[in-house]
């Protein structure tokens, strides 16, 4: 019928999020960010630009930092998704989270999860990253408050522990 709304049916999508297996009924066009926030209640990844420009939605996908606003949930089948909620283990903060607190590396805190996830991906690959590697890892994450020097100090603290 002309003018009828276009409906896209959902599909059961098995995901592994923060080490747990979940099944979501998601439309093929649904982003990983929207699935995490709306379907799973994991609101650490922030919805800001929704265009891959700010890094507030950064999560790890198979250990690599990705903008979850640019990844479709259905493309994450059989892949490991880690959000800020899953960064620490056993109720303990990750060493990067501890360093962010010690270095006062946030002001409003909106960008903090994305910054932490970008650094976590780097620290997974490189045990003692250089300042240049740290800055490169953070280059896709905007901080509107300008806490960059504190964020860099926190990354150095985590590296030097």
Same domain assignment for residues 18 and 79: yes
Q: Where would I find the beta strands (DSSP E) of 32-140?
A: 58-61, 64-67, 80-82
80, exposed or middle or buried, with CB in 10 Å at 0-12, 13-18, 19+? Answer: middle
What pairs with residue 14 in β-bridges? Answer: 23
Q: Is the pLDDT of residue 7 over 70?
A: no
User: How many helices, marked H, and strands, marked E, lie in the chain?
Assistant: 5, 5
Band of pLDDT at residue 161, cut at 50, 70 and 90: confident
Asked which of 86, 104, 125 is the last residue of a domain, the reply is 86
Region 1-29: mean pLDDT is 80
Answer whether residue 108 shows pLDDT above 70. Answer: yes
Q: Are residues 39 and 81 in the same domain?
A: yes
- pLDDT above 60: residue 3: no
Average pLDDT over residues 135-139: 97
- Virtual CA dihedral for 100, 101, 107, 108, nearest 10 degrees? 100
pLDDT score of 149: 96
Same domain, 78 and 109: no
CA dist., res. 12 & res. 25, Å (int): 4
**pLDDT, tens only, 38-84:** 999 999 999 999 999 999 999 999 999 999 999 999 999 989 999 99
- Predicted confidence at residue 8, as pLDDT, reads 61
Q: Are residues 33 and 72 in the same domain?
A: yes
Q: Which of 29, 57, 86 is the last residue of a domain?
A: 86
Q: How many independent structural domains does the chain possess?
A: 2
pTM over 0.75: yes
Asked if residue 9 has pLDDT above 80, the reply is no
- The domain that holds 126 is classified in CATH as 1.10.150.120
Is residue 63 situated within a structural domain?
A: yes
Question: Does 82 lie in the same domain as 32?
Answer: yes
Q: Are residues 99 and 43 in the same domain?
A: no
Containing 51, the helix (H) or strand (E) segment is none
How far is 143 from 90, CA to CA, in rounded Å? 29
Residue range(s) defining the domain that contains residue 63: 11-86
Asked whether residue 121 is assigned to any structural domain, the reply reads: yes
Do 106 and 57 fall within a single domain?
A: no
Distance CA 93, CA 124 (A): 16
Provide CB contacts within 8 A for 130, sequence distance 6+: none
pLDDT of residue 34: 98
Of 86, 115, 135, the one marking the end of a domain is 86
For 117-135, write each residue's pLDDT tens digit. Answer: 999 999 999 999 999 999 9
- Residue 136's pLDDT is 97
Q: Does any domain span residue 4?
A: no
């Amino acid at each position: 019928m002309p003018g009828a709304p276009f409906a896209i049916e959902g599909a059961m999508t098995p995901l592994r999020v923060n080490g747990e297996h979940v099944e979501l009924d998601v439309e093929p066009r649904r982003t990983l960010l929207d699935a995490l926030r709306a379907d799973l209640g994991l609101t650490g990844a922030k919805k800001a630009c929704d265009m891959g420009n700010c890094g507030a939605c950064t999560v790890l996908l198979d250990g690599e930092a990705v903008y979850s606003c640019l990844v479709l949930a259905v493309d994450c089948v059989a892949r490991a998704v880690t959000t800020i909620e899953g960064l620490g283990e056993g109720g303990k903060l990750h060493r990067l989270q501890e360093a962010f607190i010690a270095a006062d590396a946030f002001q409003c805190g909106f960008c903090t999860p994305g910054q932490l996830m970008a650094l976590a991906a780097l620290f997974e690959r490189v045990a003692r990253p250089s300042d240049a590697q740290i800055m490169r890892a953070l280059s896709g994450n905007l901080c509107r408050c300008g806490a960059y020097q504190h964020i860099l100090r926190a990354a150095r603290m985590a590296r030097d522990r």
